[in-house]
Amino acid sequence: MLHTAYRSIVGRLPVSVKAPLKRMALTIVGSPSVPPQLTEPTNPPPVDLVKSRIEFAESYFQYARLEIPRWAHHSRENDNFTYDLTEQSLDYLAATVSTVTGAEIDIIRSYLEEPEADLSDYLCPRAAALPIDKPTSFGRRLGWYAIARAMKPRVTIETGVHFGLGSVLLCSALRRNAGEGYAGKYYGTDINPDAGVLLAEPLNQYGKILYGDSIASLRGIDETIDLFINDSDHSAEYEGQEYGLVESRLSPKAIVLGDNSHVTNELFKFSARTGRHFLFFKENPKDHWYPGAGIGISFPRD
């Protein structure tokens, strides 16, 4: 009704007056599910065409919709979902990591296969008591792993660890790297004192979790950082603060990953300001309604 009233009153005004009024009106009533039309279409499409258009558009979402009841009835997860990536998404992830690190794509593909083999026996019993459906279905985190394997970081930081799926994966990469002669250590940060329960012997030999606000924890790490992953407080302001804080401590080869880049452009802005490349990998979950997030990747220019 508000939109009908808006159209009848504002519709007659010139555009220069109408546009700011429209912006103001939307801040009050919120964006409608059907955008308001300032003028009625002169030739409205026939009803059959409208119906077939709706069917066509909805067909794009049908597969995801079918997954919703399965998740609603059977999943133990309400957030931080676990899922595999589609084959195509894995191909694109391998190509993205190869581009960023300069490593051959076949090497990256072999890295992407390591976690399942290395971590099934470790993770499945430990995750059994937690609300995690598929503990070895790491989704986009596989990209974090492959980057850690390819670049052999000496210091890796992940802000926001939750149960510790990323911690386990990154420490597992450091264990493999150490076996190849490249030592490295991991710091995770989390404000929740119960976070990181999955990081245990023997993987906790490669890193530890710092409890408390991430910004405070980052201030206490006085080391040069090779790999930084932001995944804590997902507000744009907090994310930007984290990047600003680590900026002066990044090594020349450092890679910064953002788990929030599908929502904010903070890592994009950080990359532009510091003269770094920026890429975004969009993940595509397999057999899950969740449309997927992605990996923002900030890396040095040669």
Ligand X SMILES: C[S@@+](CC[C@H](N)C(=O)[O-])C[C@H]1O[C@@H](n2cnc3c(N)ncnc32)[C@H](O)[C@@H]1O
Q: Where are the alpha helices (DSSP H) in the chain?
A: 2-10, 15-29, 47-59, 62-74, 87-101, 105-127, 141-151, 165-179, 214-219, 236-246, 266-274
Kindly identify the residues of this chain, within the stretch 34-93, that bind ligand X according to CB under 6 A. Answer: 80
Assess 133 for contact with ligand X (CB under 6 A).
Answer: no
Smallest distance from the beta carbon of 86 to ligand X, in angstroms?
20
Among 77, 133, 213, 287, binds ligand X (CB under 6 A): 213
Among 126, 140, 141, 288, binds ligand X (CB under 6 A): 141
Assess 190 for contact with ligand X (CB under 6 A).
Answer: yes
Q: Which is nearer to ligand X, 62 or 78 (CB)?
A: 78
Task: Give the separation between CA 200 and CA 113, rounded to whole angstroms.
Answer: 22
Q: Which is nearer to ligand X, 36 or 80 (CB)?
A: 80
**Residue whose structure tokens are 């694109």:** 92
Assess 134 for contact with ligand X (CB under 6 A).
Answer: no
Assess 140 for contact with ligand X (CB under 6 A).
Answer: no
Assess 142 for contact with ligand X (CB under 6 A).
Answer: no
Give the binding range for ligand X (CB under 6 A) out of 67-75, 108-116, 157-165, 200-208.
157-165
Task: Give the separation between CA 247 and CA 20, rounded to whole angstroms.
Answer: 39
Question: What is the three-state SS of 121-143?
Answer: HHHHHHHCCCCCCCCCCECCHHH
Task: Count residues near ligand X (CB under 6 A).
Answer: 18
**Residue whose structure tokens are 């790491």:** 138
Cis omega (within 30 of 0) on the bond before 202? yes
**If DSSP codes are grouped into helix, strand and coil, which group holds residue 230?**
strand
The answer to whether 176 touches 184, Cβ cutoff 8 Å, is no
Tell me, residue by residue from 170 to 189, as one string, x for binding to ligand X by CB under 6 A and - for no binding: -------------------x
Smallest distance from the beta carbon of 88 to ligand X, in angstroms?
23
**If DSSP codes are grouped into helix, strand and coil, which group holds residue 250?**
strand
Assess 166 for contact with ligand X (CB under 6 A).
Answer: yes
Site residues (vs ligand X, CB under 6 A): 80, 141, 158, 160-162, 165-166, 189-192, 195, 213-214, 231-233
